[in-house]
Amino acid sequence: MQLKIYNSLSGEKEIFKPILEGNVGMYVCGPTVYSNVHLGNVRTFLSFDFIYRSLTHLGYKVRYVRNITDAGHLTDDGDVNNDRFVKQTRLEKLEPMEIVQKYTVDFHKVLEMFNLLPPNIEPTATGHIVEQIELTQKLIERGFAYESNGSVYFDVLEYNRRGLNYGELSKRNIEELFANTRDLDGQGEKKNPQDFALWKKASPAHIMRWNSPWGEGFPGWHLECTAMSTKYLGETFDIHGGGMDLKFPHHECEIAQGKACNDAAPVNYWMHANMLTMNSQRMSKSTGNYILPMQLVTGENDFFEKPFHPSIVRFCFLQAHYRSVLDISNDAMLASEKGFIRLMEAMKVLHSVTPNDEKQSSFNLEEWKNKAYDALTDDFNSPVLIAHLFEAVKYIFALNDGKETISTKDLEDLKSTLNALIFDVLGLQTIEENNNEKLDQTLKVLIELRNQARKSKNFELSDQIRDRLLAEGIELKDGRDGTTYVLN
């Protein structure tokens, strides 16, 4: 079985060859923890969770690193005063690290809710300032960076003069970049507008600041990922992932930093997950076109007609390939809910299927398994994989109706394959039965038993039921219409 991965760098599906056989080093850009993650962010992290689970299931030993961006960096327009952390600290009247802690906790809670596995290493930018300063020094020593007025910039034109190719990932050429760059950041400091900051001098208003050989400042955003990925995965590693929007400039700059530092491309396979849209527009905090994960799960929003369980959201996301745009809508969620319920129903039914070793089945299990794994290894094609799961679902219902047959061996095989694909690889979870409903039914049974005890004049037992429930905080109230209960 050969795993094929679409490499954004080559623009082609390539056969995956890890650097060290059987092992995978994977780095995924993490969140900027200055506010709550929106559902769009969740889609990207979920795409890579599915990829991580798939690689592990296929037998690779994966070291999965996903960082936390917690050091203030510049926004796209390059204005230091627009630093998202600085803005948020003012707004919430909190210390920068309080903001970081608050939203890191929220991020973890949200991902746990959607059953994402934690990465093996989750390094923070503020925990790797020393490494970032060292990298900056190395880039200056190698002639790829220069200091200017307390800031340090990467010299993009020098990089190209040496035959390296800035723009290779985003397929932009240097002239194009020159024409399109607005020189707001580092005006008068940069040699060329394309140059990007490795280290920025901190203005008096900037709270997050560190000492460096160039005075007090803070690192550039692109540098943290180079520092942390090389520290934990090596100068060249297997897979680097992130959302499509990070291709340029973030990942382009990472390639340049890596090549300039180590004379080698930092990443063998670049993977980019596509965007979640709502109302056919990219979900984003800045435009206001977004929904928070919790709002979808609790139903507290104006967009969806009802709440949706996190597993259904997960299922909906996986019904689209990670490289396709997914437009989330009420209809899409309702359709996913229907599909999810049918899939889970089939899994329940499967447990009561009786095998028959006499009759021949028309369902070729081996062939079906091959097709499912072909989809998984074809650039992690989750929608095709799910379509194959539904072929199995059809077969299971036919088995249940006695219209199909299965041998003992195949039944075991089908069960374990489906369990692995549905729960381990897709990471779906069954929806627990409603606990409140269960409690209500249990109490009704106890009330009925108490009534029977009273009828047969067994007052000792009927009082015992009432008192024991009261001790648990459940009060029984006898009225004209029968007995009800109150939870205290």
Q: Annotated binding residues for ATP, as ranges?
A: 285
- With CB atoms as reference, the residue minimizing the distance to ligand AMP is 243
Min dist CB 185 to ligand AMP, Å, is 18
> Using the 8-state DSSP alphabet, how is residue 433 labeled?
P
User: Rule CB under 5 A: which of 372-411 touch Zn ion?
Assistant: none
Whole-angstrom distance, CA of residue 328 vs CA of residue 235 = 38
Which ranges constitute the DSSP H helices of 363-434?
365-377, 382-400, 408-419
Choose the contact partner of 450 out of ligand AMP, Zn ion, none; CB within 5 to 8 A by kind: none
Residue span binding ligand AMP (CB under 6 A) among the ranges 17-25, 207-215, 278-286, 355-363: 278-286
Angle (CA) 203-30-236 rounded to 5° is 100
* Upstream peptide bond of 31 is cis (omega within 30 degrees of 0): no
Give the pair of three-digit tokens for residue 396: 């299971």
User: Rule CB under 6 A: which of 234-263 touch ligand AMP?
Assistant: 242-243, 245-246
Residue type, 86: V
Min dist CB 254 to Zn ion, Å, is 7
What values do phi and psi take at 35, rounded to 5?
Answer: -160, 175
Whole-angstrom distance, CA of residue 181 vs CA of residue 252 = 15
9 binds Zn ion (CB under 5 A): no
Give the pair of three-digit tokens for residue 289: 């076109």
Choose the contact partner of 219 out of Zn ion, ligand AMP, none; CB within 5 to 8 A by kind: none
Whole-angstrom distance, CA of residue 88 vs CA of residue 192 = 31
102 binds ligand AMP (CB under 6 A): no
- Using CB under 6 A, count the residues that bind ligand AMP: 16
Indicate which single residue of 36, 41, 88, 104 sits in contact with ligand AMP (rule: CB under 6 A).
Answer: 41
- Percentage helix, strand, coil for the chain under 3-state DSSP, each rounded to 5: 45, 15, 35
282 binds ligand AMP (CB under 6 A): yes
Residue span binding ligand AMP (CB under 6 A) among the ranges 25-33, 113-121, 149-157, 393-401: 25-33
393 binds ligand AMP (CB under 6 A): no
Whole-angstrom distance, CA of residue 413 vs CA of residue 420 = 11
Contact 67, 30 (CB under 8 A): yes
Choose the contact partner of 32 out of ligand AMP, Zn ion, none; CB within 5 to 8 A by kind: ligand AMP
Residue span binding ligand AMP (CB under 6 A) among the ranges 53-61, 274-282, 379-387, 463-471: 274-282
Contact 240, 251 (CB under 8 A): yes
Is residue 226 packed enough to be buried (19+ CB in 10 Å), middle (13-18) or exposed (0-12)? buried
Question: Which residues are known binding-site members?
Answer: 29, 225, 250, 254, 285
Question: Judged by CB, which is closer to Zn ion: 177, or 225?
Answer: 225
Choose the contact partner of 100 out of ligand AMP, Zn ion, none; CB within 5 to 8 A by kind: none
Print burial letters for 334-345: b (CB count within 10 Å at least 16), e (below 16).
Answer: bebbebbeebbe
44 binds ligand AMP (CB under 6 A): yes
Question: Which residues are known binding-site members for Zn(2+)?
Answer: 29, 225, 250, 254
Question: Judged by CB, which is closer to ligand AMP: 333, or 411?
Answer: 333
29 binds Zn ion (CB under 5 A): yes
Min dist CB 273 to ligand AMP, Å, is 6
Indicate which single residue of 133, 225, 275, 296 sits in contact with Zn ion (rule: CB under 5 A).
Answer: 225
Contact 120, 67 (CB under 8 A): no
How many CA atoms within 13 Å lie on the side-chain side of 188?
Answer: 2
Indicate which single residue of 5, 9, 16, 43 sits in contact with ligand AMP (rule: CB under 6 A).
Answer: 43
Is the torsion defined by CA of 218, 222, 223, 227 positive or negative?
Answer: positive
Name the β-bridge partners of 219: 199
Choose the contact partner of 7 out of Zn ion, ligand AMP, none; CB within 5 to 8 A by kind: none
Question: Judged by CB, which is closer to ligand AMP: 35, or 462?
Answer: 35
87 binds ligand AMP (CB under 6 A): no
Min dist CB 59 to ligand AMP, Å, is 27
208 binds Zn ion (CB under 5 A): no
Is the torsion defined by CA of 9, 12, 13, 18 positive or negative?
Answer: negative
Choose the contact partner of 245 out of Zn ion, ligand AMP, none; CB within 5 to 8 A by kind: ligand AMP
Question: Judged by CB, which is closer to Zn ion: 193, or 266?
Answer: 266
* Neighbouring residues of 264: CB distance < 8 A, sequence distance ≥ 6: 235, 236, 258
Contact 105, 71 (CB under 8 A): no
What residues make contact with ligand AMP under the rule CB under 6 A?
Answer: 29, 31-32, 40-41, 43-44, 242-243, 245-246, 275-276, 282-284
What residues make contact with Zn ion under the rule CB under 5 A?
Answer: 29, 225
